[in-house]
Structure 1
Amino acid sequence: MSTASRIRCADLNDRIMSAKEAAALIPNGVNVGMSGFTGAGYPKAIPQALADHIREQREQGTEYKIGVFTGASTAPELDGVLSEVNGMSFRIPYQSDPIGRKNINEGRMDYMDVHLSHLGPDVAAGFYGKISVAVIEVVGITEEGHLIPSSSVGNNKTWVDVADKVIIEVNHGQPAGLEGMHDIYQEDFLPPHRKPIPVLKPEDRVGTPYIKCPKEKIAAIVETNSTDRNSSFSEPDEASKQIAQNILQFFDDEIKAGRLPKELLPIQSGVGNIANAVLAGLNDGPYKNLTSYTEVLQDGMLEMLKSGTLKMASCTSFSLSPEANQELAENIEEYKDRIMLRQQEVSNHPEVIRRLGIIAMNGMIEADIYGNVNSTHVMGTRVMNGIGGSGDFARNGYLSIFMTPSLAKGGAISTIVPMVSHVDHTEHDVQVIVTEQGLADLRGLCPRKRALEVINKCAHPDYRDRLLDYFERATKNGRGQHTPHNLAEALSWHENFEETGKM
């Protein structure tokens, strides 16, 4: 590792130390803001050293836990190792680690699920107490001591601003060419000092390429050489491909109706195989000069940039397979002017999303017949990952689309149910529901008409008649005709699954 090429501020050379020494600077019981968003840009060495430190403290009879704040999910080297030692008393705002999920669902770790655009300003306002330490991965440090962000930005600026001390991981394994790809907005996000964010199109640059950090705040610098750990996406199955075709047909119809321009509007896409199938369909279709204003750039969008279908992508993080990561690193100069990485307060900002007219496409666990969506909880009580940015985009986008296969668990579960077991997105924020069975356009429909649209267009045939029977009986029970329900059996499908393993 060449320290000189990455740490350009000579005043900071005396703060270079080992991960073990840096981890010892994190006191027991504090809240720590760590970098990382969807498995990109998270610290690689310090969390492992901290986990070792926690083990040592436990062996000496000292209980040791910290609160962990991030941008979104991280990776086994952060969430995994700290979950293994049960070292987190509190976790926010999103996680996807299986051990962490188990700790949350078994009550060993407190977890708070929040909209991603809210967390940075809420922490700056003091809603969640003090963030004492920030642990941030960077590509390098400038001559002035500014931080060159890594493969994600997330809440890093906020953590640096509010923390008493900052611990830096300078990762030589991240491409040095990332420098200049970031746009860090410097204005205040708190009332009464808020100003309009002047993003009028996805390619607008409104900030600086660096995170400003007072040199006296930097307590330690640890050098690493590790790539982000992201898994390869599997090939889309037939259901995912059909969902993609249903959405593409919808776009074609909207263009013909004059409700979308032929270049569409800026697209936002959640992460996963279905999302990648939609992006692949867009890449293979007639669309040109598309733009994206999203939180995560995954393989499908990188392919669209490579082919020229997508001319510009604004995001807060990468979520790339190892193959796509290599493609980005090897050709980063070709991508640099067409990708912009912002902090998540900007990438997910409700006002910017509303002004740009984002087409929001997100996954879900289940939807009910009236259009309410559950995107976080299995059977109403066990959290999967979190709401992430889906609420930011669904509530404020020009079009709000939710998608999932109509069946789960080999047919044991219908993803279209009489009533969702947990509500993340109310019927007011959901315009379109898509499964491989079809697409339900809910715009302009009263609840009873939405129910028939969802059942007839999206439900799997194995469950469609039962849903129609439920709805028809609910309309005759005399309890009200606006949103008919049989309350005694509205959640009986979920109860059946818990008792028998099948809805």
Structure 2
Amino acid sequence: MEKRIQNSYLASKVMPADRAAAEILPGMIVGMSGFTGSGYPKAVPLALAARIEDAHARGEKFALRILTGASTAPELDGALAKVGGIDFRLPYQSDPELRARINRGEIEYMDIHLGQVAQYTWFGFLGKIDVAVIEVSGILPDGRLIPSTSVGNNKTWLDLADKVIIEVNSAQPAGLNGMHDIYYGTALPPDRQPIPLVRPGDRIGEPYLRVDPSKVVAVVETHGPDRLGRFAQPDDSSIRIANHLVEFFRHEIAKERLGQQLLPLQSGVGNIANAVLSGLRDGGFEGLTAFTEVIQDGMLDLIRTDTIRTASATALSLSPEGVEEFNRNIDHYHSRVVLRPQEISNHAELVRRLGCIAINGMVEADIYGNVNSTHVAGTSIINGIGGSGDFARNGFLACFVTPSTAKNGAISCIVPMVSHVDHTEHDVTVIVTEQGLADLRGLSPKQRARVVIDNCAHPDYRPLLQDYFERACRDSVGKHTPHLLGEALSWHQRFTEIGRMKP
């Protein structure tokens, strides 16, 4: 650890995790590092959970408002949720225990665009940050911090927190040093200035995080990997979705709306996203760039082969095999990967300037192009909107992908009306299922409905959708966006009652 903690003052703050956790008191607002399962604190949350459990055994109230970059891991979200230690959480989550408690109404959850979290905090909308708990991979002699595998909102938590706890994780590769770009040029309105980034690989900041040493109350030594799962191999449905998108991109190149290098790619997390990225490689594309939130295995493979020459993100979210590959060839990735704060990776100004191509998953889409990417039956949260809205609203293309059915055909992912709206019809340009692709640009609502039904719906549900649409066009009060209001959500109601959408 002497090589990892090079500042003598901060070295004097080294203590066990349980002593550090004692700095966190009931009712506090705590900003923690972590973005999509990487770069989260490994020891303090577990010690904090044990402390909370003991307090509850004594009949004392002890719960916290927890703010992060995105999802974390069982050692943080799961451990704290299990002992009843969270009463409010934002902006994104994926832990089963936390999700279950949110959906039972035991924890308040705010689903928010990831690009808005830092500015909302600076605006004072989310309250005063009492404590920041941040994982880093090292501390320099001058006290600056070498970020870990994710940056997320760490800059904001460090700037605004009254107290700071630093976890130094020696399991994170030393080769991360210099891979980050922390921009300190943001300001509050009306004093904002343009962000000077015009290419995905531009470096506009510095490689390290700053922290006021007087705010650091504890430094905790850890040695543990990020807890990231393995990605399944793309199935036939994912491959067909990828092929439809690749064909669409070739069509756009032929129409001269895209160049051979496309535009910077943004890709959501998941097996379909990995399949799409593999499809680009197999389709012969090269010299691509990415301006995205997360680099996962599919994108890492494209960087390894130089199909993607530059990738900007806020986190590395890799399987264990992906981590091994990254560590083994870290020098190769060091010159091609830039990790930034999420207020920059998801910034609307930059997404629009660069003209990103956004590719994100969804739960369902309706015939008019509205997309639900977060809820089951409109009531139960899955993970959250994440950064998909940051890119869909501001990018060059907003592509949403899903298989046409779920639960072995019991659910149609193309429905008359979505049960929850995350992305309105105004922000969605392309919908893709394994059945085909619907290009919604320049179409009226009724035109969109015909294209979505004909191209994206599963054959088992297509006649039902066509019947609904025809009757809505005939019987709806208004004819611009025809709906049968008493029937529009009947598919979801039927599923909750009998376990399938088909009558």
Instruction: Please indicate the TM-score interval, normalised by the length of the shorter structure.
Output: over 0.9
Pairwise mapping of residues 361-400 of structure 1 onto structure 2 (< 5 A)? 361-400=359-398
Counterpart pick for 2:472 among 474, 477, 482: 474
Counterpart pick for 2:447 among 428, 446, 449: 449
SS of the equivalent of 2:136 reads strand
SS of the equivalent of 2:134 reads strand
Pairwise mapping of residues 213-224 of structure 1 onto structure 2 (< 5 A)? 213-224=211-222
After TM superposition, give the deviation of residue 13 of structure 1 in Å: 1.6
Are the equivalent residues in 2 in contact too, given 1:146–1:210 (CA < 8 A)? yes
1-side partners of 2:429 and 2:258: how far apart? 15
After TM superposition, give the deviation of residue 39 of structure 1 in Å: 0.1
| Alpha-carbon displacement from aligned partner over 1:8-50 (angstroms, at most 9, x marks no partner) | 1011121000001100111111000000000000001110000
**Which residue in the other structure is 2:261 paired with?**
263
| Alpha-carbon displacement from aligned partner over 1:235-268 (angstroms, at most 9, x marks no partner) | 1110000000000000010000101001100000
Are the equivalent residues in 2 in contact too, given 1:413–1:502 (CA < 8 A)? yes
2:121 pairs with 1:123 = yes
How many residue pairs get aligned? The number is 501
**Which blocks of at least 5 consecutive residues in structure 1 are unaligned?**
none
Partner letter of residue 204 of structure 1?
Answer: D
Greater Cα shift, 4-13 or 436-445: 4-13
Pairwise mapping of residues 146-185 of structure 1 onto structure 2 (< 5 A)? 146-185=144-183
Name the % identity: 60
Are the equivalent residues in 2 in contact too, given 1:202–1:293 (CA < 8 A)? yes
After TM superposition, give the deviation of residue 478 of structure 1 in Å: 4.8
Pairwise mapping of residues 19-38 of structure 1 onto structure 2 (< 5 A)? 19-38=17-36
Are the equivalent residues in 2 in contact too, given 1:121–1:189 (CA < 8 A)? no
**Which residue in the other structure is 2:283 paired with?**
285
1-side partners of 2:301 and 2:165: how far apart? 35
2-side partners of 1:193 and 1:164: how far apart? 24
2-side partners of 1:29 and 1:449: how far apart? 52
SS of the equivalent of 1:220 reads strand
| Alpha-carbon displacement from aligned partner over 1:375-427 (angstroms, at most 9, x marks no partner) | 00000000000000000000000000000000001100000000000000000
Runs (4+) off by over 2 Å: none
2-side partners of 1:188 and 1:343: how far apart? 11
2:251 pairs with 1:253 = yes
| Alpha-carbon displacement from aligned partner over 1:413-471 (angstroms, at most 9, x marks no partner) | 00000000000000000000000000000001000010000000000000000000000
Counterpart pick for 1:76 among 74, 77, 84: 74
**Which residue in the other structure is 2:59 paired with?**
61
2-side partners of 1:260 and 1:58: how far apart? 59
Partner letter of residue 254 of structure 1?
Answer: E
Counterpart pick for 2:492 among 482, 490, 494: 494
SS of the equivalent of 1:136 reads strand
Are the equivalent residues in 2 in contact too, given 1:358–1:397 (CA < 8 A)? yes
TM-score between the two structures when normalised by the length of structure 1: 0.99
**Which residue in the other structure is 1:204 paired with?**
202
- After superposition, the Cα gap between the structure-2 partners of 1:464 and 1:145, relative to the gap in structure 1 and judged at 3 Å, is same
SS of the equivalent of 2:65 reads strand
After TM superposition, give the deviation of residue 188 of structure 1 in Å: 2.6
| Alpha-carbon displacement from aligned partner over 1:152-179 (angstroms, at most 9, x marks no partner) | 0000000000000100000001001101
SS of the equivalent of 1:460 reads coil
Counterpart pick for 2:84 among 79, 83, 86: 86
2-side partners of 1:190 and 1:183: how far apart? 20
2-side partners of 1:14 and 1:365: how far apart? 50
| Alpha-carbon displacement from aligned partner over 1:92-129 (angstroms, at most 9, x marks no partner) | 00000111011001010000000000010111111011
2:110 pairs with 1:112 = yes
1-side partners of 2:391 and 2:332: how far apart? 29
SS of the equivalent of 1:68 reads strand
Partner letter of residue 181 of structure 1?
Answer: M
**Which residue in the other structure is 1:422 paired with?**
420
Partner letter of residue 215 of structure 1?
Answer: P
After TM superposition, give the deviation of residue 61 of structure 1 in Å: 1.6
1-side partners of 2:326 and 2:284: how far apart? 25
SS of the equivalent of 1:395 reads helix
After TM superposition, give the deviation of residue 189 of structure 1 in Å: 3.5
After TM superposition, give the deviation of residue 192 of structure 1 in Å: 1.4
After TM superposition, give the deviation of residue 288 of structure 1 in Å: 1.1
SS of the equivalent of 1:221 reads strand
**Which residue in the other structure is 1:330 paired with?**
328
SS of the equivalent of 1:401 reads strand
Are the equivalent residues in 1 in contact too, given 2:476–2:484 (CA < 8 A)? no
SS of the equivalent of 2:247 reads helix
1-side partners of 2:318 and 2:202: how far apart? 24
RMSD after superposition: 0.6
SS of the equivalent of 1:279 reads helix
- After superposition, the Cα gap between the structure-2 partners of 1:163 and 1:286, relative to the gap in structure 1 and judged at 3 Å, is same
Partner letter of residue 245 of structure 1?
Answer: N
Counterpart pick for 2:242 among 219, 241, 244: 244
Counterpart pick for 1:305 among 303, 306, 319: 303
Are the equivalent residues in 1 in contact too, given 2:476–2:483 (CA < 8 A)? no
